[in-house]
C-alpha cells in the first residue's frame, strides 16, 4: 500500500466484534484474564492499549519502521530515547534545537552525568570533530527549529554507525510524508505528534520509531517503567489526524512556498529561510533527502525587534501562539517563546535573534494569508 492508503488503513482494520470502521477508544485501565497470566494480549493500559497499538502501528508503517511507540508528549519521547544512555555517555546535538530539548538536555540530564555538545550538524566535519570516545548518540533536528538548517542524514548516520553511535532524528517538522530518516540510515526517529501528525492543535503526544529489535525492547521497557503513555482518547485524536496527513502536508507545502516567495520579494523583509527557496543555503540537500519542503517559514523583518513585535501583534489570521503543524496558521517569536529557555548568548551565537519571526503556515486560502502578512508588514 502507498502512503496515503496506509495512513488510513494501517493498524486500523474494522473492529472484529462490532464492524466499526473507526478504531474504538478503549477507555479502560485493565483487562480480564482467562486464567492467571492468560490474557488476550493486554493486561494493563500502562503497558498496552488497543487504541494505542493502532496508533503505534500506523506511525511505524508511515516511517517504514518495524517498531513504533506512542508517548504522552514529544518531550516524553525525547526523554525515553535519552534514557537508553548511561552515566558518562556523551551526545552530539544539533545546535539551535527546540528550547524544550535544550532544557531537558542541559538542565536535567547533565545533572545525571550525561554530556552534551551542541554543534552545527549541517557541517559534517563539525560532527566528527565533536565526537569523543564516550560519544554514544548523535541527535539531529533536520530541519532545525527555528532556523531550518538541514543535516545530511545519510552521511551523518553512516559516520555515526561506523563508530558505534546511535543516530536519532527529530522528524517533527517534515512528518514521514516528506522525510523518512530510517530510509536514510538513522536508527531512531522521534516525533511530537502534537504537530503535523495530529494536525489540529487539539492533542499533545509523541512517538518513537525504530527498526532494531533490542533498541525497541529497551525503549518499551523504559516507557512501561516510567509510565510516559498517552491516554486512549489522545491516541484516537492522533489517529484521526493522520488519516488526512497526506492531504494536509501537500497544502502546507504549497502555501508555505507561496508565503516564503512573497516574503522574499517584500521590501520590508531582510531575509527569509525556507528549504523550498533556491536562496536557502541547503536547497540542493533538501531536494535530495526530502520529497517536499514543509510548512515552516522563518524571516527577519527590516527594522529589528520593533518591527518584529509590530508584525507579531498585527496579524489577524496568523495567530500569535507557540506550537506548529496545525491546520491554522501560527506566528511566533522563538527568542521570547519556544526558545526562551536557551541562554541569550547561545541563541545569538546560533542565529536565533530577538527579531526572528517563525511562521507555521496552515491550510487556509493562501491569498488570505499573504494579504494578512502584507498588511502587517505595511504597518511595521
Name the active-site residue from 170, 187, 355, 372. 170
Name the active-site residue from 46, 240, 243, 353. 46
Cell numbers linked to 322: 507557540
Are the C-beta atoms of 187 and 169 separated by less than 8 Å? no
Cell numbers linked to 275: 528549504
Chain centroid to Cα 85, Å, comes to 21
Give the integer Cα–Cα distance in Å for 34 and 14: 25
The reply to whether 120 belongs to the active site is no
Name the active-site residue from 180, 195, 248, 309. 195
The reply to whether 98 belongs to the active site is yes
Give the integer Cα–Cα distance in Å for 8 and 6: 5
Give the integer Cα–Cα distance in Å for 41 and 160: 37
Name the active-site residue from 52, 79, 98, 309. 98
The reply to whether 46 belongs to the active site is yes
- Nearest CA-CA partner of 259 in 135, 139, 122, 376: 376
CA angle 172, 288, 265 (to 5 degrees): 80
The reply to whether 102 belongs to the active site is no
Contacts of 190 (CB under 8 A, 6+ apart): 74, 77, 78, 81, 168, 169, 170, 171, 172, 206, 207, 208
Catalytic residue positions, numbered: 46, 98, 170, 195
Amino acid at each position: 500500500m502507498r502512503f496515503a492508503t496506509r495512513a488510513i488503513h494501517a493498524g486500523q482494520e474494522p473492529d472484529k466484534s462490532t464492524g466499526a470502521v473507526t478504531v474504538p477508544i478503549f477507555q479502560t485501565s485493565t483487562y480480564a484474564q482467562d486464567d492467571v497470566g492468560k490474557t488476550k494480549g493486554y493486561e494493563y493500559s500502562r503497558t498496552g492499549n488497543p487504541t494505542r497499538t493502532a496508533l503505534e502501528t500506523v506511525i511505524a508503517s508511515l516511517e517504514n519502521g518495524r517498531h513504533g511507540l506512542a508517548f504522552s508528549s514529544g518531550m516524553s519521547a525525547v526523554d525515553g530515547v535519552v534514557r537508553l544512555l548511561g552515566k558518562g555517555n556523551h551526545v552530539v546535538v544539533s545546535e539551535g534545537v527546540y528550547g524544550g530539548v535544550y532544557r531537558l538536555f542541559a538542565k536535567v540530564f547533565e545533572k545525571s552525568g550525561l554530556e552534551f555538545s551542541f554543534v552545527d550538524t549541517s557541517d559534517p566535519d563539525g560532527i566528527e570533530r565533536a565526537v569523543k570516545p564516550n560519544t554514544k548518540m548523535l541527535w539531529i533536528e533536520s530541519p532545525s527549529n527555528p532556523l531550518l538548517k538541514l543535516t545530511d542524514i545519510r552521511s551523518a548516520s553512516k559516520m555515526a554507525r561506523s563508530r558505534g553511535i546511535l543516530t536519532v532524528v527529530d522528524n517533527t517538522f517534515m512528518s514521514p510524508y516528506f522525510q523518512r530518516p530510517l530510509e536514510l540510515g538513522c536508527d531512531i526517529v522521534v516525533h511530537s505528534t502534537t504537530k503535523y501528525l495530529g494536525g489540529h492543535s487539539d492533542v499533545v503526544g509523541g512517538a518513537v520509531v525504530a527498526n532494531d529489535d533490542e533498541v525497541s525492547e529497551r525503549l518499551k521497557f523504559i516507557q512501561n517503567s516510567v509510565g510516559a503513555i498517552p491516554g486512549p482518547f489522545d491516541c484516537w485524536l492522533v489517529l484521526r489526524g493522520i488519516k488526512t496527513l497526506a492531504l494536509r502536508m501537500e497544502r502546507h507545502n504549497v502555501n508555505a512556498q507561496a508565503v516564503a516567495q512573497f516574503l522574499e520579494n517584500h521590501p520590508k523583509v531582510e531575509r527569509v529561510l525556507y528549504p523550498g527557496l533556491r536562496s536557502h543555503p541547503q536547497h540542493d540537500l533538501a531536494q535530495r533527502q526530502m520529497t517536499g519542503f514543509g510548512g515552516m517559514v522563518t524571516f527577519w523583518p527590516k527594522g529589528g525587534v520593533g518591527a518584529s513585535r509590530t508584525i507579531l501583534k498585527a496579524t489577524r489570521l496568523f495567530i500569535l501562539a507557540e506550537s506548529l503543524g496545525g491546520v491554522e496558521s501560527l506566528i511566533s517569536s522563538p527568542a521570547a517563546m519556544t526558545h526562551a529557555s536557551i541562554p541569550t548568548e547561545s541563541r545569538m551565537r546560533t542565529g536565533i535573534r530577538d527579531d526572528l519571526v517563525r511562521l507555521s503556515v496552515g491550510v487556509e486560502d493562501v491569498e488570505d494569508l499573504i494579504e494578512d502578512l502584507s498588511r502587517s508588514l505595511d504597518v511595521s
